[in-house]
Amino acid sequence: MPGTDCSKSLSLMTPAETEKAHRFHQSFPRYAQTPLVNLSHLASYFGIRGILVKDESFRFELNAFKVLGASYAIAKYIAGELGKDVSEIDYGVLVSDETKKKLGDITFYTATDGNHGRGVAWAANRLRQKSVVLMPRGSSQARFENIKKEGADVTITDLNYDDAVRLAGKMASGDPRGVIVQDTAWEGYEEIPGWIMQGYGSMSFEAFQQLKEAGFERPTHIFVQAGVGSLAGSVAGYFANLFPEDPPVTTVVEASAADCLFISNLAGKLVGVKGNLSTIMAGLACGEGNTISWEILKNHARFFVSSPDWVAARGMRVLGVPLKGDGKVISGESGAVTTGLLFTLLRDGEYGDFRKALGIGADSVVLLFSTEGNTDPERFRDVVWDGEFPSGNL
């Protein structure tokens, strides 16, 4: 894509940049690293060394990881307005009367299925600014209410996600004090999405430290979900920087209804998918990929998987009803799809060729990210209590 290259994109996710984001997040009140749940009994069941799940349902009491990117991007924007680097400021500076007097009112615009918008709304509210959030058609009422509670001006539109993004950008450009904070990038809009990816890096930074504390030197395999690909690019970029000679085998997992990166990998270039993008994985219902994360993924992700909804539902049940002795992870549809895929590949015999290609064996340590908790309670009950979307065939 014009304006992007792999080395530039990869440099966003160096250990130094990631640690800078992590130090900033540590300055927030109530910061705490989220758990890395060691599913040791499930790993033993499948005859591998480790399966570890980063549980983002505890992130700032917001039930999802997205706030990491939104808060860091907003902080970097405000730091720039103050003529400072983000490393020179912290939460206390951002919420001070002096900063508010210098900046006045800024309105941060975004489009979201729920988690990113809630993160933008939460961060803007905490930092004494405003937010406008557009949601695509079919968005959950529970997610709408959660965003509204954070003080945002929020609307469920009659648009799909990608068109809602375009509308949010248009609204921001028409507001003299408006800023679009979107977790995807396109030609001409790449700085703020890069900051969001760096903010997501806090999660990878924590996970790597926790892995070592648990006695694992490093992950051999990573499964990470993707909507536009910002999280996947952040994770793949961070670990590619840590282990440039031998990075973990990274598998990118998308919803089949919105598998733009899977199709892009086949096409050899970034392409989009159109339509309603109907899937229970609302956080992954994105038809157009992030240009800067794609530059990382096309070079540093080994596999791309287009996953049907039943795989996510299986993951929710596996995490919510673990083997005796393993910790329970309450994971939503988008958060559980990687666990559902790993479970399916290791358990179901027809995927032996894929298992062989992945190289998962007795010494493998698999890192998974449960990116959200129970953010849509009605859907969660339908899946976990009532068995909606039973296991099928890929």
Q: Distance (Å, rounded) from C-alpha 354 to C-alpha 101?
A: 58
Strand 130-135 vs strand 303-307: parallel, antiparallel, or unpaired?
A: unpaired
Q: Distance (Å, rounded) from C-alpha 295 to C-alpha 63?
A: 29
Q: Please state, in angstroms and as integers, the Cα–Cα distance from residue 166 to each residue in 171, 278, 292, 309, following that order.
A: 9, 19, 18, 27
Tokens of 203: 């999660």
* 39 contacts 224 by C-beta, under 8 angstroms: no
Angle at 250 between CA 247 and CA 256, to 5 degrees: 165
**Cβ-Cβ contacts under 8 Å for 211 (sequence gap 6 or more):** 36, 52, 217, 218, 219, 365, 367
Question: Is 269 a catalytic site residue?
Answer: no
Give the residue carrying structure tokens 């992030």: 290
Q: Determine if residue 336 is left, alpha or beta; phi over 0 gives left, psi from -120 to 50 gives alpha, anything else beta.
A: alpha
Chain centre distance of CA 158: 24
Dihedral of CA atoms 228, 211, 321, 200 in degrees, nearest 10, equals -20
Question: Is 66 a catalytic site residue?
Answer: yes
DSSP for residue 366? E
Q: Distance (Å, rounded) from C-alpha 8 to C-alpha 314?
A: 38
Strand 221-225 vs strand 249-255: parallel, antiparallel, or unpaired?
A: parallel
* 256 contacts 219 by C-beta, under 8 angstroms: no
Q: Which one is catalytic: 20, 54, 66, 76?
A: 66
Q: Which one is catalytic: 55, 113, 183, 309?
A: 113
Which secondary-structure segment (H or E) carries 16?
helix 15-26
Q: Distance (Å, rounded) from C-alpha 64 to C-alpha 136?
A: 19
Q: Distance (Å, rounded) from C-alpha 373 to C-alpha 107?
A: 28
DSSP for residue 245? S
Identify residue 45 by its one-letter amino acid code: Y
Q: Point out the residues that are catalytic.
A: 66, 113
